[in-house]
Structure 1
Amino acid sequence: MFSFSITAKAITASFRVPETHTFHQTLPLPPKTTIIGMIGAALGLRLDEAHAFVDTNNILVSVYGTHEGIMKDLWNYRKLTGKEKSYTLDDIKNRRQYSILIREFLYSNDFTFFFAAEKTEPLDMLKNAFSSPHYALTAGNSDDLLKICSISDIQSLKPEKINRFRNTFVPGDMSRFYKHDIDLKQVPITQTLFTPQVFLLPTKFEFKGEERRVIERKPFTFISTPVTFSLPLDGYCIDGKAVVLQ
């Protein structure tokens, strides 16, 4: 297995939990489908082409990330009906056409993205694309710009059994198999601690023109505060960061 990583920063980021409506809760980290979208933006591919590129080249991904806080923002949006695609000045003046939603944002984000494959050719292509992306890279929303800080060299990896994780996500529902791996006496009183969170997320889509349908969902466990699992996972330790490539 070969791999490379990129480090990146974003002032704000929001990765909406699927199928939420008036309250857009954010995931703690970008899920796999968001990372695939980043690959597509870097290569200049449509979303269906990006998924096909990942599947064809058996590319595995993961992420390690931290943020300094969470905030909420009020969004004013207009409800569209039927085939409506535009609005007039009278529509704007008519406040009854509008509704409010709340969206969560992560503030001051640091990410390390990992990309792996059995061959180096697709990774070379990805490295070149991230060095000069075709489209601007974002951290969820189109206005949450993502700045790439560094791109590592391609290196070979060997899997190992790992049971201690932090600031990443792993496949499956691991909520029954963990214990916190921290000394509460050493934690600053202002630091927020999070238990692992499990989300059922889309992993595969069926594309028909501009239409996209979810055809597969799988559970993922998002980890912030360090935990130790009673069941070790097949993972990789890359530059001191434990992740599961998937």
Structure 2
Amino acid sequence: MLVLQISIKGYTASFRSPASMNYQESLPFPPPTTITGIIGAATGREYFEAQNYCRDLSFGVHIQENEGIAKDAWAIKKVKDGGRSIGKAVVIREVLYQPNIRLLIVGPETKLKEIKKAISDPCFPLSLGRDDEFITFIQSELETAERVERSVIHNTVVKGDLQGKINITALNEGSIPHFKTYWLNSEFDRDKRNPKARRPKNRSPYTYISEPVEYSGEAVDVSDTVFPLWR
């Protein structure tokens, strides 16, 4: 099968976890909404158009080693007393330094070729997380991939319940590593009162697999790297 593999680098990236408030933890991987935003910016589509465009695509990510994590203090405005007054607050935001990401896209061949062409000459600037965290390097290649039933995965993301999908003890001699699960929204709805505003929907668990484990879910092998697929 034909897939599109995209290599992405930047100076910084920040994918705020929706559950974090005063301390804004960064996800170690780009969430599905960020991937949709990158495709939309490359192909010249506003977000809701890009969301519809991506419905028949599947994604996979593999995180190369980042150079580190920084913590940045931000002053924000805070609404108080039911909107009658506005105060100020300081939040700490995690920032990934020099992120290095491999993104895999699976879908109709014509659409993969269209995205590849757009990536080489994007309509709008491409960013990771916030609008000012620009992608400094991006390269895409059409690759041949093989579907695999059982494989070893690491530094990647699995969507949904892991029960029955991973085997840890065979690879780690009985020690069970801690894998963090994030509840993320894969799509947005338009706000009925303000069509330009977005309301999150389709909340699902996404787990970052930081250590090698045996995996039996849907996945493809590209140049000896296995990508679990999700939509």
- Equivalent residues of 1:162, 1:242 under 8 A apart: no
Structure possessing the higher radius of gyration over alpha carbons? 1
Separation in 2 of the partners of 1:178 and 1:162?
Answer: 10
Taking only aligned residues, the RMSD between alpha carbons, in angstroms, comes to: 2.4
- Give 2:60's aligned residue: 62
Q: TM-score, normalised by structure 1?
A: 0.80
Residue by residue, what CA displacement relative to the aligned partner does 1:4-33 show, whole Å, maximum 9, x if unpaired? 111111121111111432111111100112
Alignment of 1:1-246 (within 5 A): 1-55=1-55, 58-66=56-64, 67-79=66-78, 97-117=87-107, 119-152=108-141, 154-174=142-162, 177-179=166-168, 181=171, 195-208=178-191, 209-229=195-215, 232-246=216-230
Residue by residue, what CA displacement relative to the aligned partner does 1:59-83 show, whole Å, maximum 9, x if unpaired? 1112111312222111112235789
- Equivalent residues of 1:9, 1:146 under 8 A apart: yes
Following superposition, the deviation at residue 54 of structure 1 comes to 0.7
Following superposition, the deviation at residue 106 of structure 1 comes to 1.3
Runs of 4+ residues deviating >6 angstroms: 81-84
- Equivalent residues of 1:64, 1:168 under 8 A apart: yes
- Equivalent residues of 2:119, 2:139 under 8 A apart: no
Query: Aligned pair in 2 of structure 1 residues 195, 64: CA closer, same or farther (>3 Å)?
Result: same
Query: Aligned pair in 2 of structure 1 residues 178, 201: CA closer, same or farther (>3 Å)?
Result: farther
Q: Secondary structure at the match of 1:159?
A: strand
Separation in 1 of the partners of 2:228 and 2:24?
Answer: 27
- Equivalent residues of 1:202, 1:217 under 8 A apart: yes
Following superposition, the deviation at residue 227 of structure 1 comes to 2.5
Consecutive unaligned residues in structure 2, runs of 5 or more = none
Following superposition, the deviation at residue 36 of structure 1 comes to 0.7
Separation in 2 of the partners of 1:127 and 1:80?
Answer: 43
Q: Structure 1 counterpart of 2:22, which letter?
A: T
- Give 1:93's aligned residue: none
Query: Aligned pair in 2 of structure 1 residues 77, 170: CA closer, same or farther (>3 Å)?
Result: same
- Equivalent residues of 2:10, 2:134 under 8 A apart: yes
Q: Secondary structure at the match of 1:233?
A: coil
Aligned residues: 219
Q: Structure 1 counterpart of 2:219, which letter?
A: G
Q: Secondary structure at the match of 1:139?
A: coil
Q: Secondary structure at the match of 2:206?
A: strand
Separation in 2 of the partners of 1:37 and 1:171?
Answer: 19
Residue by residue, what CA displacement relative to the aligned partner does 1:28-60 show, whole Å, maximum 9, x if unpaired? 1001121111111111211111101011xx111
Q: Structure 1 counterpart of 2:68, which letter?
A: G
- Equivalent residues of 2:5, 2:143 under 8 A apart: no
- Equivalent residues of 1:175, 1:198 under 8 A apart: no
Consecutive unaligned residues in structure 1, runs of 5 or more = 85-95, 184-193
Query: Aligned pair in 2 of structure 1 residues 200, 178: CA closer, same or farther (>3 Å)?
Result: farther
Separation in 1 of the partners of 2:12 and 2:211?
Answer: 21
- Give 1:188's aligned residue: none
Q: TM-score, normalised by structure 2?
A: 0.85
Q: Secondary structure at the match of 2:217?
A: strand
Separation in 1 of the partners of 2:63 and 2:126?
Answer: 16
Separation in 2 of the partners of 1:149 and 1:47?
Answer: 20
